[in-house]
Chains A and B, each alone.
Chain A
Amino acid sequence: MLHIGNYSFKSRLLLGTGKYEDGQTQQEAVLASRTNVLTFALSRIDLDNIGPDPIEHLSREEFTLLPNTAGAKTADEAVRLARLARSSGICDMIKVEVIGDPPTLLPNPVETLKATEILLNEGFTVLPYLSDDPMLAKEAEALGAHAIMPGASPIGSGLGIVNPYNLQLIIEQSKVPVIVDAGIGAPHDACEAMQYGADGILLNSAVAKATDPVKMANAMRLAILAGREGYEAGRIPKSNVATASSPQENWANS
């Protein structure tokens, strides 16, 4: 079980809902992933073209919504979006996302921490999206963040874990859950993070933009399970020299 604040989730995969070709594919991918948490963004409604409600058919018993503050460039904007999200009455979790500029879309650490502090004081369950900086993770945890969400690499890049050293430091030091968020490209990236001891993975593009999103959703589910099992099983230490697995009897000249 993944515990974040007062929430408990069976699945350790948190799935984004952006970038899918169509609603049907998305729905099937969500089911295949067996996720319990779906992320959403907030957007101004087009009053001339209201269209279908993206969360209308979502079972609230089955899925917990994790809204993000995408679009915010300052702490104040993130706080504003978080308050709007909570006013829906259907969730009090918030992924604090204060993005800097293209091309990296890396989070602005100063504004992210500011927003995190304000929202914690207002009683939100706060999951800040951070870069993979152990000091930053420490600061967010000290403020009381309910989980730390370091990026593996830039959003949508699919580069996987570009700094495994930093990521492992964050995982080892953190007493709150670490959800690796952003940059996952393939199942082995998710598996690697889980093998390090991450508590969960948040991904979107890797599934939504895969050739077969439904199959990839299942692959990610399995990779995360494998990584977690491997972490709990305890891997062998690495060694620079071989250790034989079979008897090394001498058969020469006998």
Chain B
Amino acid sequence: MSDVLVRASGLQVRFGPVRAVDGVDLEVRRGETLGLVGESGCGKSTLGNALLRLVEPTDGLVEFDGLDVTAAGRRELRALRRRTAMIFQDPYASLDPRRTVAESIGEPLAIHGLHKGRAARRARVGELMEVVGLNPDHGARYPHEFSGGQRQRVGIARALAGEPEFVVCDEPIASLDVSVQAQVVNLLVRLQREFGLTYLFVSHDLAAVRQVADRVAVMYLGRVVELGAGTSVSGTPAHPYTEALVSAVPVPDPTRERTRQRIVLSGDVPSPADPPSGCRFRTRCPKAFEACPDHDPVLQPTGPEQAAACHLHGVTDR
């Protein structure tokens, strides 16, 4: 059994002229949580979707447990859908308002013919609701009768129903009240331990990712610019963009917070339809130098368990 559960190589997703994901190599290891951070529009959600082939990659390869996801036929894809799941950002939009929560949670069971029979299915749904901290007697209720946090628990129960191995959490706490964010994060962490899940945790919030992720990938304009252990990426960022992200996270210590140096990036993110030449970050990078416009950097090791795509660590070209 390989150590790597999901592997993307040279993955590219284009929407017309827009290069949402533009050549990403990434490995998700079995049992880990890989955090994926970046500002909105950087392609992190699209990458998560492409790994599950919920959007079609225009180029490159995705492998799941050695299976070529990009070339999977209908039946293979269906089998794959049982082994993967997704948790969505907006718990209001991700549940069908016309179906009871038990129907939503039980849908993967119905699709894949698991726990056949009314009684068995009902028992399984009740069990799932209990696992995520919902009252199993509330299965006959509709989504609008629940709070945001409860709905997100319904979404999580649905994701778990088919006993998946790999779960893409697409900004799972971004639209929740701050008071329930921690609860949902803790739930996700507990479920990972309990069921041996592998997570891709997509978020724009580096502080949240740092809490749950073993490793962190930082994305900018369709590319992964830094990758490494969560502690090293946030402790000793190797890419100027990561430095800026880290500097934006408040420190829970008033004396240190007062002296915190913020790196405020100037300008807007360039259009992903027409990215800058060479390094894509150079137009906003405080440390850009003459090599940056001419050479497109590749990820190179900057320390143990850490790599960055930046010419400061030696000029490279794709």
Asked if A and B are interacting partners, one says: no
Chain A residues in the interface with B (C-beta under 8 A): none
